[in-house]
Structure 1
């Protein structure tokens, strides 16, 4: 059963707001008016991507009988904010801490990969919905908005998956790699491909490819 402390809820809300702002800044290159316009759209992608990523870690931790709690990392938020002005986001606003006297590399790896898998699945769902809505996107403002939300959601979630799977000590990738090299390679290859396609082709061109346009 999921249980949250008041401090955990507070930390998740703060991290969500700041990371959304960071992606807004990175996407719009500091244009205030554009940031304000795109921020609600970005918040959907970040909200689903960031929150569900952390809940993925928490769920698997609690499945193994451990207590897990998200804690904010203020320095990470600052780094994310600074890097956003450079055009990318070093998204490490905090982490789910699992409290255990002992944990095997396998269990730690499974807990760690849960978050990136959530982002990969969300990225695929977002781009598929975008493809479904594309033919009627121009019919109404609501359809256009859903399409934009899905395109941004795809880009953000693919990036979050690839970023978190980097084999850097503080990120999920290092723990997954320590557990199973093969699983890390497959997950990172998928996340990397989704991110590369987002950065080179763009979500709209991916949608057109899926539809055969």
Structure 2
């Protein structure tokens, strides 16, 4: 059973809202109405992506018998807000800290890769739903809303996956790379291709390509 402390729940909620706002600012620019309009959609994609990413780390840590807890990094939140005004988000609001006297590179790598894997799976689920609802989006407002949410969910989660897999500093990628180069290169390649498609083609064009529209 996964247990949470009250401070951990508080930190997760703060990070969830601020990161959602950051992505809304990055996408909506200086248009307040656009930011407020897109924020609820972003919160669904980012909410699932961010919370489940961290829970992935926590679940695998506790599976190995370690206590793990998410802690907020205020400086990371401030930096994320600053970068969002330049059209991108350096998303490092905090991390799940695993408490262990000793941990092998393999266990550390498996704990670290859990988060990005969650994001990749979520992105693919969002893409599958987007493909399913796209044909009906031409005559259904609800389908349009769902398609927008899924498009953002795909874009944000694929980006979160590739970002966290970068072998920089204390990001997940460094620990996965120390454990297994082959697994790291495959996962970052998959996440990178997904993100590249989102940034270059756009999700709608990707969906149209998939269904042959």
Q: TM-score range by the shorter chain?
A: over 0.9
Identify the residue that residue 74 of structure 2 maps to in structure 1: 74
Structure 2 unmatched ranges of 5 or more: none
Tell me the equivalent position of 1:188: 188
**Equivalent residue number for residue 203 of structure 2:** 203
Q: How far off its partner does 1:31 sit?
A: 1.0
Aligned to 2:65: 65
- Tell me the equivalent position of 2:16: 16
Equivalenced residue count is: 213
| Aligned ranges 1:1-213 → 2 under 5 Å | 1-213=1-213
> Per-residue CA shift, 1:149-179, capped at 9, x if unaligned?
0000000000000000000012000000000
**Normalising by structure 1, what TM-score?**
0.99
Residue 166 of structure 2 aligns to a residue whose secondary structure is coil
SS in 1 for 2:18: helix
2-side partners of 1:30 and 1:175: how far apart? 37
Shift of 1:30: 2.1
CA distance in 2, matches of 1:142, 1:52: 25
Structure 1: which 5+ runs fail to align? none
